[in-house]
Amino acid sequence: MRTALLFSCFAAALFAFTATATADVIGDRHWAVNIFGASLHQNRSRHYNEANLGLGVQYYFGDSVLGLRVPRGCFGALDGMRDSLRGLALSAGIGCEHEVFGFWDYHFSVGAELARIRYGAPNHPTMYGTTVIPGVSIRKKRWALNVDMLVPWSGQHDGVLFAFFTRHFK
């Protein structure tokens, strides 16, 4: 609970004091950095680690990748974080984000990523999986607060919501 409170305070401060930037950052070709923090598990009685700290990078392709036309908002991602079993989770994927609406300086998006994930937890066998990760995002200028949902596959783990920040660079 303390981790969630600290993460929420950080989010509020971040959105209150963010620097100016252009509104249409998602559709343009650029890099972004993911800063992972908190998670909320479907089965809270298992006492998972819910402070999932880590970093990742995303590259937004703009309107083409390798000469092929792609929808605006498509990206490639590489992430690493401490997972809920206190091991290292690594993922690589491709996805798309689509802005649903915006008001004032806030932009609300939905998206999904097709990801290959590797879990390496202490005292557990290394697990691999490929899954679709749906998510929502609230962006103000170059900072975004994201909530994604990792759905269980093959009965390997419980579903989990995880929150993280993204800083867009352009």
User: Is 63 in contact with 72 (CB distance < 8 Å)?
Assistant: yes
d(CA 48, CA 50): 6
Give mean pLDDT in consecutive 10-residue pieces for the chain, a chain of 170 residues.
44 39 64 92 76 93 86 93 86 95 93 92 83 94 92 69 91
Q: What is the pLDDT of residue 36?
A: 93
User: Mind listing the pLDDT tens digit for each residue in 4-49?
Assistant: 444 443 444 444 333 333 345 667 899 999 999 888 887 777 777 7
pLDDT of residue 110: 96
> Which three-class secondary structure state does DSSP give residue 61?
coil
Average predicted confidence (pLDDT) for the chain: 81
State the Cα–Cα distance between residues 109 and 141, nearest whole angstrom: 13
User: Which of 136, 134, 143, 104 minimizes the C-alpha distance to 11?
Assistant: 143
What pLDDT is attached to residue 157? 64
Structural domains in the chain, sorted by start: 2-169 (2.40.160.20)
